[in-house]
Amino acid sequence: MKKSFLFCFFTVLLSTIFVLSTEALEGVKVNVSLRVYDKDVFATDLTMNDFVVYENGQELKVESLCQIKGAEIKRREGIIETPPSTSRNFVLIFQALEYNSRIADAIEIFFNQILLPGDQFILVTPEKPYSFSQKTLEKYTKEQLTDAVKKSIKT
């Protein structure tokens, strides 16, 4: 595989990510989350040796690598003292002049296929923001949450 440029993304939606643990200059371990694509295909066969991390022009030692898909660690490499957090943060912002039924479809897909246990969720409407705590996400069914979000967007 040719060496390709790496682009770091701090929000994760559907694709797998890699989390690198590096020893920073002051001895503090730093996790770096990123996605790597070769054209439009996610690269799943990368190892720690495929990554070079610099801070202020000085190369840092990559100590571990985790490949994460959704909330599951698919592959580990190196010594991992503390597993990386696999929770994700979603902020959905809605401002529509007219309600469209396709919005409801998207909300159902979000709750049924994307949102996983441990994820954080905030809904922002022109009226006000709604923060769904972990307790709320566990207490109510996906159908109840979907209906509540649809109602909040319609008003």
Residue 73 lies in a domain: yes
Chain mean pLDDT for the chain: 78
* 20: number of Cβ within 10 Å: 21
Let me know whether 41 and 93 are in one domain.
no
Residue 118 lies in a domain: yes
Range of the structural domain that residue 131 is part of: 89-154
Stretches in the chain below the pLDDT threshold 50: 1-15
Residue pair 86/71 in contact (Cβ under 8 Å)? The answer is yes
pLDDT tens-place string over residues 110-153: 999 888 888 889 999 888 899 988 888 889 999 999 999 988 88
Let me know whether 31 and 67 are in one domain.
yes
